[in-house]
């Protein structure tokens, strides 16, 4: 899906936990997430902590979306 949307000219950020698969299938902008069963959350945190976590992940993704890349790039969120 990432590749097809990009083929249509729209840049995509792939947020995922298993970044090696994302690299293998050819995503260009990748943001690593928390875990496979809960990529964008962490049940071990309080609701307040989780909200901060989510915001950081989304902001990293938005930053990635607006960054020019020459090659496949992983954008590490500052958690």
By the rule CB under 8 A, 24 interacts with another protein: yes
State how far the Cα of 75 lies from the Cα of 2, in Å rounded to an integer: 16
With respect to another protein, which residue has the nearer C-beta, 11 or 42? 42
Work out how close the CB of 37 gets to another protein at its nearest, in angstroms, rounded to a whole number: 6
Residue 32 interacting with another protein (CB under 8 A): yes
Residue 35 binding another protein, by CB under 8 A: yes
One-character DSSP codes across 10-49: ---EEEES-HHHHHHHT-SEEEE-S-SS-TT--TTS-HHH
Q: Residue 40 has which token pair?
A: 């964008």
Binding site for another protein (CB under 8 A): 17-21, 24, 32, 34-37
């Amino acid at each position: 899906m990432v590749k097809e949307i990009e083929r249509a000219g729209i840049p995509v950020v792939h947020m995922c936990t298993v970044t090696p698969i994302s690299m293998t299938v050819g995503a260009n902008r990748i943001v690593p997430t928390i875990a496979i069963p809960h990529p964008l959350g962490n049940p071990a945190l309080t609701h307040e902590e989780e909200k901060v976590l989510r915001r950081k992940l989304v902001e990293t993704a938005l930053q990635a979306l607006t960054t020019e890349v020459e090659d496949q790039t992983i954008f590490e969120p500052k958690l």
